[in-house]
Amino acid sequence: MSVLVRLWHVLPQPLRYGLARALERHRPLYRWVMFYRADAVDALEGRSHLPPAALRYRVGASPHASEFTASGKTCAHDLQAALTSVGRDLASFTRILDIGCGCGRTLVHMRHLAPRARWDGTDIDVKAIEWCARHLTFAAFTLSRELPPVDYPADTFDLIYAVSVFTHLDEDHQFRWLEELCRVARPGATVVLTLHSAKDGQEFRFEQSYERGLFPPWYQNAYHSESYVRERFGRYFAVLSYLPKGLHAQQDVVVLEKRRATS
C-alpha cells in the first residue's frame, strides 16, 4: 500500500475527519485523494480487471470497487426485470446498444444475461471508451458527441438501453437523442431509459446543480413526471411501461418500443 494511504490509516479519527471536511471544500483535490486511495487499495487487493477509481466515480459518484460492482449487477438485473414486465426476454435480443456506457459498469453484467447477443457501447467520455476498448473485448465501442448522430446505421439495434443518461439532459438534448435512438433502433425494437422522478406536480425540471468540474456544463440534473414521459416521449416511441423506482430503487424506468411502419 502506498505511503500516503498508510499515513491516512494511522492518523487519529478526529484528524482524518477534519482533513476530509477541509478537502471537501476543494472538490478537485478531494476527488484526487479519493481516487489515489481507492486505486492503491485495488492494487493491493488485485483488482486490476476493474476500471480506475476516477472512471468508476464518473458513473456512480463513488470510487469504491465494491460499490461499482454491486451497482452494476443491480442495474443489469433491474433492466432485465423491466423487460420481463412487458413480456420481453433479454436473452432473445441479438444486437444491443448501451448508450452512455461509461466504463462498462452495467454492460459487463448485462452481457451474461444475453450471452448470444452482439454488444455495442458508446459514450462521450474519451477515457472511459478507451478503457472499454482495451479491456472489454466482447463488445465494440465508439465515442459519441454531445449531440447526434452516433456512428451507427439506421435500424441497427433490437434493444437499446441508457442508464442515468436522460437524468442529465435538458429538453433540447433529450428530444434530439430520442429522435436519434428512434433512427438506430429497428422497427419493433425495445428501448429502456432511466429517469429521475419529478416532484411537487412538476412535469419537467432541469437543475444546474451537478458536481462542477467533472462533466460538461450542459450535463446537469433532469427530473421527469410520468405524464410528461408518456406524452412527450410517446411522440417518438410507443410507451409500454413506466416503473417508478424500478432501477436500484432510485430511478424510474420507462420501457419503449419503436413503432413498426404501417402500410
CA distance 254 to 83: 10
The grid cell for 145 is 458527441
Quote the Cα angle for 117-102-47, to 5°: 90
Sign of CA dihedral 49, 124, 168, 83: negative
Per residue in 7-63, pLDDT (tens digit) is 555 667 666 555 555 555 556 666 766 777 787 887 877 778 899 988 999 898 889
Condensed to tens digits (0 to 9), the pLDDT of residues 141-173 reads 999 999 999 999 999 999 999 999 999 999 999
Reported in sequence order, the residue ranges of 58-184 that DSSP labels E, i.e. its strands, are: 95-99, 118-123, 139-143, 157-162
Q: pLDDT tens-digit profile of 166-198? A: 999 999 999 999 999 999 999 999 999 999 999
What the chain holds in terms of domains, given with CATH numbers, is 3-66 (no CATH), 70-257 (3.40.50.150)
What is the Cα–Cα distance from 219 to 210, expressed in whole angstroms? 8
Peptide bond into 149 cis (omega under 30): yes
